Amino acid sequence: MGGLGALGSTLRETLFDLAPIAVILFGFQAFVLRRPLAHPRRSAIGLIYVVLGLALFLVGLEQALFPLGKAMARQLTAPMFIHGADVIAAVRWQDYGWVYVFAAAIGFATTLAEPALIAVAIKAHDVSGGALSPWGLRLAVAVGVAIGVAMGTFRIVTGTPLPWYFIAGYAVVIAQTALAPRAIIPLAYDSGGVTTSTVTVPLVAALGLGLASTIPGRSPLIDGFGLIAMASLFPIITVMGYAQLGAWPRPHARPRGVARRTGEKEVTMKFKLIMALVDDGQTDAVLTSAREHGATGSTVITSARGEGLKPAKTFLGLDLEGHRDIVLLLVEEHLGRTILEAIAEDCHFDDTPGTGIAFLIDIEDAVGLSTQIGTIQSEIEDEI
């Protein structure tokens, strides 16, 4: 009954905590956007799953993860385990090797299971046109968290001031920011934040407080906290390092795509073709949406005929069905998915059956794009 009572109490608290979020989301949808929900039944079921999942997770934290983290810290720092006798000896950082190993392992494992990081990695893969591997990003962040948590436990054991680590760490971040590819810098900075979420924080916090409580001369308030901040700093370093290593020139590798020589440089771009089949009244909406999200040009083939499963309606031999247009958009690879989703949303493809369809096609090679590539390269150089 104790477990059921805790679950009921946590459910009520979770509902209370999520209520403002739901009010804001549905309020903006109804009174600002003034559009009905595309899938109200699915949205309601999803909210129920969110409430139940969060409540069960929070109960699991209190009943399992928090006690487990404290117990592991207490056992790893026990005098019997470290010195082989039930005595209190002077604290030496060399004696806590297994603590550092456990801290790095728990930081790595919890980060790989972090739902927030998984979501960010998937989105990064989508918007980069597949150039960024989700597993590569997750491993880079997990390695950073492992290093950060291990360094944080070393700080607790030795009692050294926390600012020293941050001054040195952010000096490295500043140097990397000047050298890393521009596209990865915002993602690297965000990667530190997504690690401090539902799975990682409880165990890391429990480990820090447990260590500070069991190591002689340490204060849980002064020394126990700061471990999560360390876990947020080092992923920034490892993600930018991962990008810098990935961008290292490979003499035998030649990228696929459309190439153009600019002075001494050869610029290689990758493109995708968006093909939208829409009613002729929707063509302008498609073009407007595509332009707003980065498309630079289009080709429209008018008066195409669409044939569904049912025979077309005719009257005295005349076709009564509306004509369709074919809109062709050649866009940079990393913009393809964004433009496709924007067209579908702005033109209500999913809300209104038969309105239109759009899809992406890979482009193996193309000619006649030198001017477009030159413009893009000029914009990049201006930003740099």
Tell me how crowded residue 356 is: count the other CB atoms within 10 A of its CB. 22
Using DSSP, state whether 314 is helix, strand or coil: strand
Which residue is listed with tokens 């903006």?
Answer: 28
* Interatomic CA distance for residues 97 and 82, integer angstroms: 9
- CA atoms within 13 A of residue 110's CA, in its CB half-sphere: 26
The pLDDT score that the predictor gives to residue 87 is 47
Tell me how crowded residue 306 is: count the other CB atoms within 10 A of its CB. 15
The pLDDT score that the predictor gives to residue 73 is 65
DSSP for 53-112?
HHHHHHHHIIIIIHHHHHHHHHHHT-HHHHHSSSS-----GGGGHHHHHHHHHHHHHHHH
Report DSSP state, residue 197.
S
Q: Which helix (H) or strand (E) holds 211?
A: helix 200-214
Angle between helices 97-112 and 134-158 (to 10 degrees): 150
Domain with CATH 3.30.70.120 in the chain: 258-307+319-383
- CA atoms within 13 A of residue 366's CA, in its CB half-sphere: 20
SS (H, E, C) 315-342: ECCEECCCCEEEEEEEEEHHHHHHHHHH
Per-residue pLDDT of the chain (384 residues; tens, 9 = 90+): 456 777 888 888 888 888 888 888 888 888 887 777 777 888 888 888 888 888 888 888 777 777 776 677 667 666 555 555 444 455 565 667 788 888 898 889 888 888 888 888 888 887 766 677 888 889 999 999 999 999 988 988 888 888 899 999 999 999 999 988 887 888 888 887 777 677 777 778 878 887 887 777 788 888 878 888 888 899 999 999 988 886 544 444 444 455 544 444 444 567 888 888 887 778 888 888 888 888 877 888 876 665 554 555 443 344 445 567 888 888 888 888 888 888 888 888 877 776 788 888 888 777 666 656 556 555 555 544
CATH architecture of 258-307+319-383: 2-Layer Sandwich (3.30)
In this structure, the strands spanning 258-262 and 265-269 are: antiparallel
